[in-house]
Structure 1
């Protein structure tokens, strides 16, 4: 039982908000941060591949770079599309 209580506090520490919209905004912010961290890990992995001399290092770096670019520009893309409608 104490494990369930611990998991409850672990997963709901910063997720609580006054409305559903603000909760969704907080989750979106955390998801963006997590995606940026994954993208940076991808760039680090591509750098290791470059150092080891692997053939697919350039494609890994390009994919990680464009992934981070899309994640960083995501809010701008969404606001642009909302402006068209």
Structure 2
């Protein structure tokens, strides 16, 4: 399963609006998309509650993985979204 590591640029971390944007982008992918802290168990990136439960802060690194057709494209989109400051 392809994966990427991304540092969260949003000053509020992956909370509320940035998390919502992330979940909506992940939900467009027909395959499996997950997010985790490095070395931790992944959660479903298409679930707002699961993403918010990670309590990811500004500057933290996350691992995003995707499986299925177009996995590389969804990883690129999610990486761009998380590494851009837009809170």
TM-score in terms of structure 2 length: 0.32
| Greater strand share, structure number | 2
TM-score in terms of structure 1 length: 0.32
| Greater helix share, structure number | 1
